[in-house]
């Protein structure tokens, strides 16, 4: 984002929004400066966590899923800690030992929400088309792959399926395309702003399903279609490792943010 700064002593910081220059708040300015001094969020080390806070069984399960997604890939032959550091970017050296990165915590952590409580998914099924009455609700914790699976189970049990006859055969048809919903969840987890205090929110109504990811868009909404940008590249790479994200981004040409019936 281009910055225009007025001469001292009165500091005025402007950010470019489309063709206009608008004044940035002090909080936005300080956050921008902090982001420039630090590595991306998903590559930062987790304060207070050690390698023992990662579950090696979760790493092994991830590697198994990676091999299933890409059968021709060469299985890693190094010791597991070395694989976590060098191949999975899930830990780095700190004070003579290994400490997890946020990528490591979110994919392999024993209890990720102990260190990052806002990394959660809130799901709700409402009666009707407004948020007045709950039918079902759930707050999901765990690693990103665990939350993804649990969220999909909630959505499946709170949406309907029907039988349709196609060429003389009965075919089960779902109320929403579950592949598109799962893609929306993956995108929300990979691209969300983890500095934001809110978690991911999924709302199911009688006429629509919404997936809301915390934080502002990385580029203006008018430029999103067909664009491929990411806030957390390392998280995205780990999702691609297990076949949950495309190798090449296609922007938002597919309905991955809000799905409506009709």
- Name which of 127, 136, 129, 140 is nearest 208 in CA terms: 129
| Chain centroid to CA 245 | 11
Distance, in Å, from the CA atom of 69 to the CA atom of 106, rounded to the nearest integer, reads 20
pLDDT of residue 11: 47
CA angle at 71 for the pair 68 and 76, rounded to the nearest 5°: 90
- Name which of 188, 201, 194 is nearest 239 in CA terms: 188
pLDDT at 258 over 60: no
Highest averaged pLDDT of the listed ranges 3-7, 146-150, 228-232: 146-150
More confident call, 108 vs 31: 108
Full set of structural domains in the chain with CATH: 3-37 (no CATH), 42-115 (no CATH), 121-260 (3.30.565.60)
pLDDT of residue 30: 59
> Contact 201/156 with Cβ under 8 angstroms?
no
Decide the pairing of beta strands 200-204 and 121-126. parallel
- DSSP H helical ranges for 102-212: 102-108, 112-115, 144-157, 178-191
More confident call, 9 vs 217: 217
- DSSP H helical ranges for 117-192: 144-157, 178-191
Average pLDDT taken over every residue of the chain: 83
pLDDT of residue 31: 62
Is the backbone of residue 134 left (phi > 0), alpha (psi -120 to 50) or beta? beta
Distance, in Å, from the CA atom of 253 to the CA atom of 224, rounded to the nearest integer, reads 9
Please give the full DSSP string across 66-104, using - where no structure is assigned.
HHHH-TTSPPP-S-HHHHHHHTS--EEEETTEEEEBHHH
Distance, in Å, from the CA atom of 109 to the CA atom of 141, rounded to the nearest integer, reads 11
What is the percent of the chain where pLDDT is above 70? 72
CA angle at 199 for the pair 196 and 190, rounded to the nearest 5°: 80
Helix-strand-coil percent breakdown of the chain, rounded to 5? 35, 25, 40
pLDDT at 6 over 50: no
- Name which of 135, 75, 137, 81 is nearest 104 in CA terms: 81
More confident call, 82 vs 226: 82
Query: pLDDT tens-digit profile of 79-111?
Result: 999 999 999 999 999 999 999 999 999 999 999
């Amino acid at each position: 984002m281009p910055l225009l700064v007025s001469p001292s002593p009165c500091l005025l910081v402007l950010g470019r929004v489309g063709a206009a220059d608008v004044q940035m708040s002090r909080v936005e300015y300080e956050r921008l400066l902090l982001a420039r001094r630090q590595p991306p969020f998903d590559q930062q080390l987790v304060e207070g966590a050690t390698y023992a806070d990662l579950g090696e069984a979760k790493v092994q399960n991830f590697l198994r899923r990676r091999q299933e997604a890409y059968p021709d890939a060469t299985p890693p032959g190094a010791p597991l800690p070395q694989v976590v550091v060098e191949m999975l970017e899930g830990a780095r050296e700190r004070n003579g030992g290994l400490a997890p990165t946020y990528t490591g915590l979110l994919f392999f952590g024993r209890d990720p929400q102990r260190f990052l409580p806002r990394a959660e998914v809130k799901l709700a099924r409402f009666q009707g088309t407004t948020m007045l009455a709950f039918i079902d609700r759930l707050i999901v914790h765990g690693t990103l792959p665990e939350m993804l699976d649990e969220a999909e189970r909630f959505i499946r049990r709170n949406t309907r399926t029907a039988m349709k006859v196609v060429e003389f055969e009965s075919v089960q048809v779902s109320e929403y395309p579950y592949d598109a919903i799962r893609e929306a969840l993956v995108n929300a987890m990979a691209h969300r702003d983890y500095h934001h205090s809110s978690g991911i929110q999924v709302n199911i109504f009688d006429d629509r399903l919404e997936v809301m990811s915390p934080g502002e868009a990385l580029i203006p909404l008018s430029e999103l279609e067909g664009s491929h940008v990411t806030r957390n590249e390392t998280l995205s790479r780990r999702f691609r490792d297990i076949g949950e994200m495309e190798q090449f981004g296609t922007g938002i040409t597919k309905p991955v943010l809000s799905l409506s019936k009709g």
